[in-house]
Structure 1
Amino acid sequence: MVEPVSDRLSYWLAALREALNTADPVLAVAAAVLAVMLLLLLVLVLRRGPPTSTTAAEFAEIKGRLTAMSEMTVRRQAEEAHALDERVEQVAARLGIALDGVSRRLAESLAETQRQNSDTVARLSERVDTLSRHMGDNLAEAGRRTTETLSTLNERLAVIAEARQSLADLSSEVGSLSGVLSNKQARGAFGQVRMEAIIRDALPSGAYAFQATLSNGKRPDCVIRLPNTPAPLVIDSKFPLEGFEALRIARSADEQKAARDAIRAAVGRHIDEIAGKYLIPGETQDTALMFVPSESVYGDLHEHFADLVQRAHRARVVIVAPNILMLAVQTVQAVIKDAKMRDQAGLLQREVGLLLGDVGRLAERVAELERHFALSGKALEKVSASAVAIGRRGDRLVSLDIEDDPERQLGTAQAAGELTARAS
């Protein structure tokens, strides 16, 4: 009896569904082919009408074919699974061998890496030790240098502090100096003090005099007594500085012109006063010195007031600054020393004569001493010859066979004494 078509279709559809759900591509293709054939068969069946014996036979044939195909597919699947298992085993074996080689190489690489890391760590340790030692030395050196620098800095700070104190003192002195220069009497005293300091430092006390009185009753600030002449050299230190102060603070051209005119008038008048009061024929030198207590004022005179300098030269008044006065005083000091040397020339000649006499007597005594040394040398030569003769005789006596006769020994001793006395 033929099974219903719907039941058979359900069965084969379930089988096809399982075949389609498989992961094997061969089975999936076979299932797709069977599905197409089944669809075609259904279409034929539906067109022919209800199933007949012929249809049942066809279904049976199709069933047999499908069963054969299913069995062949299962067999092929089993074969392919077996082949796949063999391949998997071969791949596993190869993977095992490869993994063993990789493990071995990895172990060797790890060992080499560890050895290299050990060497690297050792080198790094040495470098760290060296670096630490160098850093320690550098830090010690840096500390020493820092200490020295701080010490030097402290010394410099101390010097700076002293300099600041000196500047403060100098500022106060400059303030007092400004007050001195603003007062005419104080200005004259300032020039007098500077001039006296230069004179005292360079000349002996008997070569100068301050505020000495001349025959006309005038009292110059200083006179220098020159050697071999009774006429002293006169120095005046009361230079007028009012005009130069006014010229320094002048702003307009008119103020500057007025200050220059005042300078020319005051300095010219002072030059005339020095020439009239201190140049006395036969009593003082023909030239007098006008002391300017400031180098800058002296430079301004020669740069801007050449007419005043020429006027002073014509009046035989020489304008001198502190440096030029020092040079002039040193020249006077050399002249005084030369004069003293000439004054002492006779004494020097007499002393030289006495010295030559002492040298002659010394030469005679040296010659006499040489004669004594010559006689002593001859006496020493004689003594040396006697000592040599005594030594030879002693050697001969030692080489002789001396008996134990007391009388003969006494005679030998007396003979040796006589020889010694004769040699002396």
Structure 2
Amino acid sequence: MILDQPAFGLGAHTVSLGEALVGLAAIVLALLAAMAVGLWRASAARKEAARRSGELEYRLAEMAGQLRSFAEATAERDSHLAHRLDARLDQVSSRLGQNLTDTTQRTADSLSKLHERLAVIDTAQKNITELTTQMVGLQDVLSNKQARGAFGQARMEAIVRDGLPAGAYTFQATLSNNTRPDCVVDLPESGLKLVIDAKFPLEAFNALKAARDEGETRQAAQRLRRDVSVHIRDIAQKYLIAGETHDTAILFVPSESLYADLYETFEDLIQRAHRARVILASPNILMLVVQTLQAVFKDARMREQAGLIKSEVAAILADVERLNDRVTDLRKHFGQASQDIDRIAVSSDKIAKRGLRIEQMELKDASAPQDGDDGHEGGRSESPRLVAGR
């Protein structure tokens, strides 16, 4: 055959024409396969390039849309910002105008108040002038011993009158030894009287304040000590009466500064007053004493009312006991009424049932108790009742 004929030789081996054709065909097929793979790869590359190009175009379009949205949003924000700036400028202008108006109004008010205060200052100046005149008058009053005593007594009377009931004190009362203290307070229950007397050693006090050297100070202190000692002795001798007055009396000093100087500088006078059972009291101390007496009078009134309160409580307890008895009787009446109502209900039920039987013409012998008769209502002997016929 032709295909078996030798075509060429490769060394010692001889390649036939058929083998050569087969080898050529294999080479051609390999080339075709390589070309097909190359074409497929080129097609795949073109598809990939086309896909990437599409994606790129989509991203470009998306970016263009975003840029467009951004531009629109930027334009809207710019417009909103311009509108807010205009509104803010209007508010600032309005507020500035209002502030100017308010400032003008406040300035006018301040000027008006300034004029009013100047008028008040003028009035105060007039009052100060009048007060100066009154102080000069007060100085004249205090320079007179009798007027000064009346001033101290008036201050003491004002404190007592404001703090105690009207019937608890007496001014300028006469004691059994014909002495007349400035004030007498009737203590409750004991029947004793608390004596209050006002003293005002102003001359010695002023002399002590006006002393310029040690000698004048010593003389003024001796004078003040002597005057106060005289007042303490007079009160202890005149106003402490056994069985009539309280064993302690009050010496009222109508000056806080004088009272403070006495307690700070003249301790021996304070001790002497304590031994004489005389208590020195300034206006503030007298107010405390009066408040204590208020509590004493209130306690005494409460004790006076204790008997009445006790009798009223006993009457209330008796009323409560009677009320309890009446509630018990009422409870019994309610129990009896409840039993009567139950019996009435039983009788009503029997009447209703018998009426129903009469209506249905189902009458029976009345000699036999029916429906729980207790022998009091349904147990009467009756003639045989008619039986319904047809």
**TM interval, short-chain normalised:** 0.5 to 0.7
User: How is 1:117-128 mapped onto 2 (pairs within 5 angstroms)?
Assistant: 128=89
Whether the 8 Å CA contact 1:288–1:318 is kept in 2: the answer is: yes
In structure 2, the residue corresponding to 1:233 is in which secondary structure? Answer: strand
Deviations 1:165-205 (A, max 9, x none): 65455434433322221111111001100111111111111
In structure 2, the residue corresponding to 1:289 is in which secondary structure? Answer: strand
Cα separation, 2, equivalents of 1:183 and 1:232: 31
In structure 1, the residue matched to 2:247 is 286
Which amino acid letter does the alignment assign opposite residue 271 of structure 1?
A: I
Which amino acid letter does the alignment assign opposite residue 135 of structure 1?
A: L
Change (3 A) 1:218 1:128: same
In structure 1, the residue corresponding to 2:244 is in which secondary structure? Answer: coil
More helix by share: 1
In structure 1, the residue corresponding to 2:280 is in which secondary structure? Answer: strand
Change (3 A) 1:124 1:224: closer
Structure 1 gaps, min length 5: 1-118, 382-424
Change (3 A) 1:312 1:156: farther
Corresponding residue to 2:218 among 257, 268, 290: 257
In structure 1, the residue corresponding to 2:191 is in which secondary structure? Answer: coil
Whether the 8 Å CA contact 1:220–1:234 is kept in 2: the answer is: yes
Query: How far off its partner does 1:137 sit?
Result: 3.6
Structure 2 gaps, min length 5: 1-79, 343-390
In structure 1, the residue matched to 2:293 is 332
How does the TM-score come out when normalised to structure 2? 0.59
Query: How far off its partner does 1:151 sit?
Result: 9.6
Cα separation, 1, equivalents of 2:155 and 2:230: 23
Corresponding residue to 1:296 among 218, 235, 257: 257
The alignment yields a C-alpha RMSD, in angstroms, of 4.5
In structure 2, the residue corresponding to 1:219 is in which secondary structure? Answer: coil
Query: How far off its partner does 1:228 sit?
Result: 1.7
In structure 1, the residue matched to 2:7 is none
In structure 1, the residue matched to 2:152 is 191
Whether the 8 Å CA contact 2:187–2:193 is kept in 1: the answer is: yes
Deviations 1:255-291 (A, max 9, x none): 2222111101111111111111111222211111100
In structure 2, the residue matched to 1:320 is 281
Change (3 A) 1:157 1:227: same
Whose Rg is larger? 1
Query: How far off its partner does 1:163 sit?
Result: 7.9
Cα separation, 2, equivalents of 1:371 and 1:361: 15
Change (3 A) 1:208 1:126: closer
The alignment of Structure 1 onto Structure 2 pairs a total of residues equal to 278
Change (3 A) 1:136 1:327: same
User: How is 1:127-138 mapped onto 2 (pairs within 5 angstroms)?
Assistant: 128-138=89-99
In structure 1, the residue corresponding to 2:181 is in which secondary structure? Answer: coil
Whether the 8 Å CA contact 1:239–1:290 is kept in 2: the answer is: no
Whether the 8 Å CA contact 2:199–2:254 is kept in 1: the answer is: no
Deviations 1:220-268 (A, max 9, x none): 1111111122221111113322101122223233222221111011111
Change (3 A) 1:297 1:154: same
Whether the 8 Å CA contact 1:239–1:270 is kept in 2: the answer is: no
Change (3 A) 1:186 1:147: same
In structure 1, the residue matched to 2:132 is 171
Cα separation, 1, equivalents of 2:326 and 2:123: 67
In structure 2, the residue corresponding to 1:319 is in which secondary structure? Answer: strand
Change (3 A) 1:135 1:186: same
